[in-house]
Amino acid sequence: MKKKQTNTNEWDTVIESEHSLFDINFKELWHYRDLLVLFVKRDFVTVYKQTILGPLWFFIQPLLTTITFTVIFGNIAQLSTEDSPKIIFYMAGITLWNYFSNCLTSVSGVFNANAGIFGKVYFPRLIMPLTIVISNLMKFGVQFLLFVCFIVYYTLINKITPNIWILLTPFVILLMALISMGIGLILSSMTTKYKDLNQLIGFGIQLFMYATPVIYPSSAVPENFKWVLDWNPLVGLFEYMRYAYIGIGSFDAYSLVYPSIFSIVILFLGILVFNKTQKTFMDTV
């Protein structure tokens, strides 16, 4: 093999097989920001094209889930909601959980779902997971609006007392986005090669929901299972929702420290793994 020395500096792009682990081109990502906006717009617009109820579907689905949960877990199984209105208790959990599980599922399948487009054109692959997280944020926003309507109603009839902590909501949502994206990115890299994981992820997310105080308050967890909640980074976020909006449960600012650190670490790891996978996945997908 001939060995030639080429000065790397005079070229714009070098295509090669060896990359350092931290070789992430954020400048390029920034260049493609318009694409991100257009993808998000596409996702949002195309969902309700040619449907009769249109954007109303964003409301109907969480509303039905809330009612189902209220009936099954609240009325039949009679799980504790710590004396808060059942419907608002479940809605707080479900709205947040939906966002997490939707993001995680879509991000972890991002390579398989977009193999067609990834195989034909190059753009920074990280745009796709970002699109998913932001598109879902829009859907979450709509559902959150519904939640806020209920909060206002129940506050007016003096059933609940939201407090000043609600101002921290954007931060908590951001943590949720980062964590779901981080975990999703790590999984996405594995699902490209071992498709069995796709089956496992759906099941795993369901299990994870029961290990997270979505449909029950953490105070209802027996002492010998408490360690599960201690490790779960999402616990603080769900406890926050209930504490800030409904005024139940225990919460303080320290509960957000662990999720914050966790989100940064997991996202960092996720991006590294994703970045490594995106270079070769076309040959293995």
Partner 1 sequence: MSKVVIKAENISKQYRLGLVGTGTIKDDMKRWWYKMRGAEDPFLKIGEANDRSSKGESDYVWSLQDINFEINQGDSIGIIGRNGAGKSTLLKILSQVTQPTTGKIYTKGRIASLLEVGTGFHPELTGRENIFLNGAILGMRKHEIARKLDEIIAFSGVERYIDTPVKRYSSGMYVRLAFAVAAHLESEILIVDEVLAVGDADFQKKCLGKMNDVSKGEGRTVLFVSHNLDAVKKLCNKGLLLHHGQLIHDGNIDSTLDSYLLNYSSNEQQSGISYDLDENKEAQILKVVLKDKDGKDVIEYFSDQEICIHITLRNTLLNKGARLNFSILDKFENVVFINRKDLDFTGTTEWVVQLPGDTLIANFYKIGLALDIPKVRVLDFPMEKTNLSIVNIAQDEFKYGDSENGIFKMPIQWSK
Contacts with partner 1 by CB under 8 A lie at 1-2, 4, 6, 8, 10-17, 31-32, 34-35, 37-39, 42, 45-46, 49-50, 116-123, 193-195, 279-280, 282-284
The CA distance from 41 to 37, in Å, is 6
* Crossing angle of helices 127-156 and 33-47, rounded to 10°: 50
In the complex, the smallest distance separating the C-beta of residue 57 from partner 1, rounded to whole angstroms, is 15
Smallest separation, CB 84 to partner 1 (Å) = 41
How far is C-alpha 124 from the geometric centre of its chain's CA atoms?
A: 20
Least spacing, CB of residue 52 vs partner 1, in Å: 16
Q: Which is nearer to partner 1, 6 or 224 (CB)?
A: 6
Nearer to partner 1, 47 or 87 (CB): 47
Q: Sign of dihedral through CA atoms 271, 43, 207, 236? A: positive
Q: How far is the CB of 13 from partner 1 (least distance, A)?
A: 5
Q: Which is nearer to partner 1, 97 or 118 (CB)?
A: 118
Nearer to partner 1, 87 or 127 (CB): 127
Q: Which long-range contacts (CB under 8 A, 24 or more apart) does 22-29 make?
A: 22/272, 23/275, 24/126, 24/271, 24/275, 25/124, 28/124, 29/124, 29/126, 29/127
| Cβ distance to partner 1 smaller for residue 43 or 82 | 43
Closest CA to 83 of 261, 238, 217: 217
Structure tokens, 79: 């799980």
Q: Measured from the CB of residue 182, what is the shortest distance to partner 1 in angstroms?
A: 24
Q: Which is nearer to partner 1, 130 or 256 (CB)?
A: 130
Q: How far apart are CA 64 and CA 54, in angstroms?
A: 16
Least gap, CB of 67 to partner 1 (angstroms): 30
